[in-house]
Amino acid sequence: MEHILEVTDVSKTFSLRGMFGQSKGGVSAVNGVSFTLKSKGTLGIVGESGCGKSTLARLIMRLIEPDQGQVRYKNEDLLKLGGSDLKKMRKRIQMVFQNPYSSLNPKLTILDNVAFPLWANGTGRAAASTQAYRYLDAVGLPKSYAAKYPHHLSGGQRQRVAIARALVLEPDIVIADEAVSALDKSVQAQVLNLFQDLKKEFDLSLIFISHDLHVVEYMSDDVMVMYLGGVVEKGPKEEVFANPRNPYTQALLKSVPSVDLAVRKAPETELLKGDLPSPLNPPSGCRFRTRCMFAEARCAQNVPALVEVGEGHHTACLLVHEGMAAVQNL
Amino acid sequence: MVAFISKRLLLFIPTLFGVSVIVFLMLQMVPGDPVNTIVPADATEEERMRVTRELGLDKPIYVQFIYWLVHMFQGDMGTSIIKRLPVSELLLPAVGNTLLLAAASAAVSFGLGLAIGVYSAYRPKSWAASLFNVLGLAGIGMPNFWAALILIGIFSVSLGWLPSSGMQSIGGGGLLDTFRHLILPTIAASLTTLGVMTRMVRSTIAGLLQQDFVFALQAKGAPAGKVLRHVLKNGMPTILTVAGLQFGYLIGGSVLVETVFAWPGIGQLIYQAIGQRDFPIVQSGVLVVAVAFVLINLAVDSLHAVLDPRVRHS
Amino acid sequence: MATNVQSIVPDAASAASLPKQPSQAAERWRAFCRRRAALVALVILAAIVLACIAAPWLSPYDPYAGNVKERLLPVGSAGHLLGTDEQGRDLLTRILYGGRLSLLSGIVPVIIAVILGGGLGIIAGYFKGIINTLIMRTLDILFSFPAILLAIGISASLGPGISNIMISATIVFIPPIARIAETAVKEVKKEEYIEAALSSGAGTGLIIRFHVVNNIFSRLFVYSTTQIGICLMLASGLSFLGLGVSPPTPEWGFMLNNLKQVIFIDPIVTIVPGIFIFVTSLALNIVSDALSDVLDSKG
């Protein structure tokens, strides 16, 4: 399958400054992340909060400038673009944000919120409104909502508006950053299905970011697991969920409450110990080793590379590469 | 905390520099040639040139500024054009008188403001609290120069109880005489601050009275006095900050009250100097008060940091 | 897993039957009207403003021409409701005419300061970095003067005149208004709709116009209304010092200045113009107090 987006070795470190502007080290938010997004495919990115998923999305959007790396959209490196070229390319990728209460301008009507991206790209007011109506309709909002303000709408409705706004520029790629996390379960389901429908209708490629494994499993073709700014495992959804190789992925899957029983089963073995380390001072070697059940001395010395362990299935774990029985048998 | 205060001190220097730039610029805005205000109208061209050179007015403006700044630092504020006296000699006693009035007003408005504010917070539904609330608003909305006129009308003109102008009776008088002269200006100057303090103390204390630690103390059976002590201790950083700023305003706002009561402070000095176009006095007077204001702010910030650990760690 | 996901109650449909919401403005107006004191203050304020505008139709007297025989008539005299001044001019007439300049000098500086200070604050808040430091530190220096002293200093340097009073009052009000705007913009910039606008490729100008200005406006507006009363007092104070109008132009502060010389003859007449400064600024404070209560509640 053809790749529409190719992200290579993207990194971002936020520098911290002290009282008098001196450097006080940095927070490594995203560290050498690479992935590809298949055309018309959905990539799910999963990880705990603070693992750099949202920063990664903003790096691709160039809402934050990366320190290094490449973001190739149809073979054009977006990070090298500037000025009007950037503006032209920018609308090829749009984003749906996490918080439906912050992502809509409370002082603009629903219609204007959706139409604004068109104004910004030189469309006249009347034409922009017509277009905005069409997309409000596409996300299932009745016409009568157009003149309302965001505070009249529920969270799920707002998120529909946010989706309409992301689509109005007719992008090829939509990045949904925790787009359903703030919603109630029942509303979540509707919005997820809406994404599925719109994806087909408008031939979209999706990057779906969530801390919720169910959501990612439901939505994605491919999955990428992040931990503390880096990729620990990625591959086709079936592979990763059925046959997780990285101890972190295994721990995540184990800690998910069983849906069928609708009650959380106590895990037989606690696979995650301790808290997330500070990204200000990440552990040496494998970043996950401080919380890993299987960590050995060498994990502190060597940084594990992503190695292919199955058809398109990559994982970054020294122990897996060396073939450790305990890990494989889990 | 030392770091916090030293950072404030470090900011103090550019602020002071900026303040002096602005005061210097004010003089530059004065229309017309300043030489004209010094030399007689029939002065010869040579005479004018001599004065221009003496004042350094033939130099570029930044050189003039540096001269001026250096002189200020040495305490040489120039010479009054009208009174032909060194400005510093005129300013010094005036600063003392202004501080006396400001201190008296501060004592009245802070003391009363605290008492009324605490009372109103404890009895928010009482008629007295509503009355104080309205009076507080009135105090804030009342121009102090008008309050001064009313006070003179009532207590000097109609009742004849208190003197209406100056700091001492003709022929001089003792401390008591000065005190009698101080009463009306103090009341006029403190009304606005009293209004601000009352409202602020009331809302601060009322907010604290709703907090869990108060309920905990009351549940333990602590006497009302002890509860109040705890509440005041918690409210003090806020109250002192506002009080400190208000003290600055009392000094700055003294110009109008001093003018009405002919109180020989820095405000009146500036007022007279404006009328006589005696700009060295206006300039130095404004600078002195502004520097005092900056210093008070610095002191308030530092005090706040001492009292409230959250500030210095933020 | 998928079974969970597909249990759907369409939320769009259920919400379409919501009752029609009343408009925000109407809601807020009602909240404002519930405050009796504020309503009374607003009526008084409106009456004063209208009376000043309609002065020529309300008063039969010439504000400039006095009658020497009728100097300092007491309040309540026949034909002169508030008495006459030291030159025998009808006091009420002069107060109504004088109110025009006084009210203007309370409002105009705040409006200009909102435009200039708001603009500076938006620029400083939006761009951060060196631009922010430059603008905000400069304004901090102006802020480190006591307001009235700064105004006096500037007015004295510019020379007497009501327009110079307005200029100096404007300069005094720019720093605090800019600070409010800057803080508000910094908060707005954290909102995701700004990021959304940026990723749509919108330029800075459009973002400021459609996403920043309208979201900080109500805070700026509320704060500015609290400043009008203060500005009125400041301007009349400067006028009282003789920095404003020159005789015989009527203006409240300057009228007090003229009348203070006759305080030993008739203290009541002397303080009459001050009542108008006081009542106006008090009413302004009460109204703006209520406004900030009503508008600040997030809606």
Report pLDDT digits (tens) over A92-125: 899 999 888 889 999 999 999 999 999 988 888 9
Do the beta carbons of residue B262 and residue B68 sit within 8 Å?
no
Q: What is the pLDDT of residue A325?
A: 45
Instruction: Pick B226 or C73 by higher pLDDT.
Output: B226
Taking a C-beta distance cutoff of 8 angstroms, is the pair B286, C155 a contact? no
**How high does pLDDT run on average in chain A?**
84
pLDDT for residue C4 is more than 60? no
**Partner-chain residue, chosen from A93, A160, A186, that has the shortest CB–CB distance to C7:** A186
Q: So what's the ipTM on this one? A: 0.84
The confidence score (pLDDT) of residue B115 equals: 92
Averaged over C39-66, what is the pLDDT? 86
Give the residue-averaged pLDDT of A207-217.
89
pLDDT of the residue at C9: 39
Q: Would C19 be classed as within a structural domain? A: no
Nearest to B146 among C149, C264, C271 (CB): C271
Pick the CATH number of A3-92+171-329 from 3.40.50.300, 2.40.30.10, 3.40.50.720, 3.30.200.20: 3.40.50.300
Both structure tokens of C252? 């409240």
Residue C2: both structure tokens together: 């998928």
CA atoms within 13 A on the CB side of B27: 22
Domain boundaries along the sequence of chain A: 3-92+171-329
The answer to whether residues B108 and B283 touch, using CB atoms and an 8 Å cutoff, is no
Cα nearest neighbour of C289 on chain B: B137
Question: Is C282 a residue whose pLDDT tops 70?
Answer: yes
Handedness of CA C263, C269, C270, C271 (dihedral sign): positive
The domain in which residue C88 lies consists of: 32-62+72-296
Chain C residue set in contact with A, beta carbons under 8 Å: 1-2, 4-12, 15-16, 18, 21, 24, 191-193, 195-203, 206, 210-211, 214-215, 217, 299
Task: Quote the tokens at residue B158.
Answer: 């109609």
Q: Which of C1, C191, C202 sits opposite A218 (nearest CB)?
A: C1
Of A183 and B305, more confident: A183
C209 touches chain B (CB under 8 A): no
Tell me the average pLDDT across A6-15: 88
| Chain C residue with minimum CA distance to B154 | C267
Task: Using a CB–CB cutoff of 8 Å, tell me whether C141 touches chain B.
Answer: yes
pLDDT number for residue A143: 87
Say which CATH number the domain at C176 has. 1.10.3720.10
C223-244 pLDDT tens trace: 888 889 889 999 999 998 888 8
**CA-closest candidate to residue A150, choices A101, A84, A81, A222:** A101
For residue A218, the chain C residue with the least C-alpha distance is C2
**What CA dihedral angle connects B296, B298, B299 and B304, to 10 degrees?**
120
Q: What is the pLDDT of residue B48?
A: 79
* Mean pLDDT computed over every residue of chain C: 83
User: How would you class C159 by CB atoms within 10 Å of its CB: exposed for 0-12, middle for 13-18, buried for 19 or more?
Assistant: middle
Q: What are the backbone angles phi and psi of residue A211, rounded to the nearest 5°? A: -90, -5
Are C117 and C227 in contact by the 8 Å Cβ rule? The answer is no
pLDDT tens-digit map of B95-149? 889 999 999 999 999 999 999 999 998 888 888 888 888 888 888 888 888 998 8
Q: What is the pLDDT of residue C86?
A: 77
Instruction: Give residue A209's pLDDT.
Output: 93
Higher pLDDT, A73 or B54: A73
Q: Chain C partners of A192 at a C-beta cutoff of 8 Å?
A: 5
CB pairs under 8 A between A and C: 125
The count of C-alpha atoms lying within 13 angstroms of the C-alpha of A161, restricted to the half-sphere facing its C-beta, is: 35
pLDDT digits (tens, 9 = 90+) for C178-218: 999 999 999 999 899 999 999 888 889 999 999 999 999 88
Cα separation, B279 vs B281, in Å, equals: 5
Mean pLDDT of chain B, nearest integer: 83
For the ranges A67-81, A135-149, C23-37, the lowest mean pLDDT is seen at C23-37
pLDDT at A160: 92
Contact check, Cβ <8 Å, C197/A108: no
C282 interface with B at CB cutoff 8 Å: yes
Q: What is the pLDDT of residue A19?
A: 53
Surface of B (128-147) touching C: CB under 8 A: 137-138, 140-143, 145-146
The 10s digit of each residue's pLDDT in A219-274 is: 999 999 998 888 989 999 888 888 888 888 888 887 765 444 434 444 445 567 77
What is the total count of domains within chain C? 1
Is B19 an interface residue toward C (CB < 8 Å)? yes
Measured between CA atoms, the residue of chain C closest to residue A150 is C299
Q: Nearest Cβ partner of C8 from A105, A120, A190?
A: A190
Task: Name residue, tokens 């880096």.
Answer: A230
Q: Which residues in B lie closer than 8 A to residue C156 (C-beta atoms)?
A: 26, 270, 274, 282
pLDDT of residue C91: 82
d(CA B247, CA B267): 15
From the list C10, C206, C299, the residue facing A119 with the nearest CB is C206
pLDDT value at residue A224: 93
The 3-state DSSP class for residue B282 equals helix
C170 has a chain B CB within 8 A of its CB: no
Residues in chain B with CB shorter than 8 Å from the CB of C158 are 29, 31
How big is the B-C interface in CB pairs under 8 Å? 137
* Centroid of chain to Cα C82: 28
pLDDT at residue A261, rounded to an integer: 40
Contact residues on chain C for B249, CB-CB shorter than 8 A:
146-147
Cis preceding linkage at B309, omega within 30: no
Is C9 contained in some domain?
A: no
Q: What is the chain C residue with the closest CA to A192? A: C5
Does C206 fall in a domain?
Answer: yes
The per-residue pLDDT for C122 is 94
CB contact under 8 A, C211 and A105: yes
For residue B7, the model assigns a pLDDT of 76
Find chains touching chain A: ≥3 CB pairs under 8 Å.
C
pTM summary value: 0.83
Mean local confidence (pLDDT), B231-242:
84
Report, as an integer, the average pLDDT of B21-47: 75
Beta carbons of B142 and C278 less than 8 Å apart: yes
CB contact under 8 A, C240 and B154: no
Determine whether the interchain pair C157/B29 forms a contact, defined as Cβ–Cβ distance below 8 Å.
Answer: yes
B14 at the C interface (CB within 8 A)? yes
Distance CA(B266)–CA(A314), nearest Å, equals 79
Q: Could you tell me the two tokens for B97? A: 């008188």
pLDDT tens figures, A272-286 = 777 778 777 788 888
Environment class of residue A304 by beta-carbon count within 10 Å: exposed (0-12), middle (13-18) or buried (19+)? Answer: buried
Inform me whether the pLDDT recorded for C288 exceeds 80: yes
Q: Say whether A106 and C215 touch across the interface (CB within 8 A).
A: yes
